[in-house]
Amino acid sequence: MTVSGETFAILNVLWKVFLTVITLHLCFLVFAFFFGSAVSGKNPFTLMKNQIPAYLSALYVVSGKRRQKFDAIVTAPPFEFRAQTTPTSRMTGSRPRP
């Protein structure tokens, strides 16, 4: 690509595709929040404002440098929790067998 001089032409197309995807993503989010607010009867702008920290957290996790730390946390051995069960223990609302 570099030898033939096509790099900038390809990057130009890549930026157009990237901006189109981001624009369509934002349009979809606005539509989803307006639809959700119409169903729930809440203000769509308040709903969007409350979700900004979640989107920023997602971007933070996906970023390259932070990804290694996130993978180390996720791949840590899980905490083992075992509920003690006895022959007389049963779930709430269940009936004993006849």
Could you list the pLDDT tens digit for every one of the 98 residues in the chain?
566 778 888 888 999 999 999 899 889 989 999 999 999 999 999 988 888 888 888 777 776 655 566 566 655 555 555 555 555 555 555 555 55
Instruction: Give the chain's domain count.
Output: 1
97 domain residue, yes or no: no
Instruction: Look at residue 93 and tell me if it is in a domain.
Output: no
Does any domain span residue 49?
Answer: yes
- Token duo for residue 1: 């690509």
DSSP 78: P
Q: Is residue 81 part of a domain?
A: no
| Residue 67 included in any domain | yes
Instruction: Give the domain extent around 40.
Output: 7-73
Element (H or E) spanning 95, and its range?
A: none
Report the SS3 class of residue 91.
coil
